[in-house]
Amino acid sequence: MPKNLKYTVFLVLIAVVAYNSFYFKKLDDVKANTGSNAGEKFDAAAYAQNFWTAKLLPASAHATELSTLIPLLKTDEAKAFATYSHALGIGNIRYFLVKGDGKITAVSDNDVTVSLPSGEVVKLATEYIFGNAARDASGLIKITEFDNTMDLNNVSAELNKIIRNSVLPTLKSSAKPGNTITFIGAIELNKAHLHLENLEVIPISVHEAAGMGVREKE
């Protein structure tokens, strides 16, 4: 076989092998077939509702008493964070699932101020509900459950929506200065810049201590 012909045949074989080694797919098809539920779009609203009902509300029974947490934060900050806080990532921002009771001393457009029996003051947020406190405070969500950060962030948004739609309306309409309430909520604290004055609590469950009927909608 002539040398030029051998060279041509060799090139053809290389081209055939290369062609069969690669295939192309539309980008949308690739995206649709990635993740734990290939071909299915993540339903953040459904996930959040299930998490709220099946995990977060039951876990609230084991929330940390503010009467325990606040003094510990003042005397042994490192132990308080190590024992009671949660977060999905590393860093100074940590979240706590807390509970307490006290007398309402003020009601504003943005929050309800509650004086605890210990004399500490906390504010139950009633207007600006955002961030990851409700999602991360219990420590029951794992980052490995999600294929991307957008899904994770959407879960936070949906949990905050549940709070706005199911917890805040009755709290805002029924809370009055002088009433005594019990509450469960989530707080965000920064280890590097710890401020305990007027702690803000994202409410998860609120009840009037004497049965006045301040309850979140189921």
Check which CATH number belongs to the domain holding 82 and give it.
2.40.50.420
Query: Does some domain include residue 32?
Result: yes
pLDDT of residue 94: 97
pLDDT of residue 190: 94
Q: Which residue has the tokens 């690669």?
A: 22
Query: Does some domain include residue 120?
Result: yes
pLDDT of residue 89: 85
pLDDT of residue 197: 85
| Strand extents, DSSP E, 130-198 | 180-190
- 87 CB-near residues (< 8 Å, 6+ apart): 93, 94, 95, 136
Query: Does some domain include residue 18?
Result: yes
Q: Which two tokens stand for residue 112?
A: 């309800």
Mean pLDDT in consecutive groups of 10 residues from the start of the chain, 218 residues = 51 48 42 49 96 96 95 96 94 96 94 94 95 96 93 97 93 88 96 90 89 41
Indicate if the alpha-carbon torsion angle 178, 171, 52, 147 is positive or negative.
negative
pLDDT of residue 92: 93
Which domain does 147 fall in, by range?
3-208
Tally of structural domains, the chain: 1
pTM of the model: 0.78
> Residues 208, 131: contact at Cβ < 8 Å?
no
Query: Does some domain include residue 213?
Result: no
Q: Which two tokens stand for residue 116?
A: 């605890």
Query: Does some domain include residue 216?
Result: no
Query: Does some domain include residue 84?
Result: yes
Query: Does some domain include residue 214?
Result: no
Angle at 11 between CA 7 and CA 16, to 5 degrees: 150
Query: Does some domain include residue 90?
Result: yes
